[in-house]
Amino acid sequence: MSLWKDFRARFKNIIHTLEKHRDFVDKEAASIGMFENKVTRTMLLKDIEERRKQALESLDFNEKTNSLIQLQSAISWLSADDRRQEAEHLRRSMLRHPGTCEWICTSEQIKDWLKDDHNNPIFWMNGKPGAGKVACDYYTVSSLHHTR
């Protein structure tokens, strides 16, 4: 007993110091683990943000491409062959009654409108159906414009 009592007194401080070191090592390992987790979490968040940006850029590109395709499709659907339009216009011009649209050459409003190229780009013509608004030959208007 006398030896054991002496052993306990002698090793008590050593065991206590070892327990403190064990606790310190455990805390250090936990803090290293937390730091590594934080670094990993930061890297994952950066990766997620980068992928989100790429997805948004891809989506934006796809939307622009689809919009352009739709616009081109609409333009091609709406467009007509200029030669066919010119031929149809010439054919219809030959069918009109003599004297149709001659009033346009003497109209002061048309003359004023033709002089003012940039301020009023549109000339609105009102009239009853069959009055000859559509039958007016735009060649007459353009020749008036070029002579001014």
Residue entry with tokens 């467009």: 79
Please tell me the predicted confidence (pLDDT) of residue 147: 43
Nearest to 139 by CA among 107, 109, 104, 108: 104
pTM of this structure: 0.37
> Which band of pLDDT confidence, cut at 50, 70 and 90, is reported for residue 3?
low
What pLDDT, on the 0 to 100 scale, is given for residue 80? Answer: 65
Whose tokens are 């409108």? That residue is 113
Mean pLDDT of 126-139: 63
Residue 76 is encoded by which pair of tokens? 């091609």
CA distances from 20 to 4, 24, 111 (A): 23, 6, 104
80-96 average pLDDT score: 77
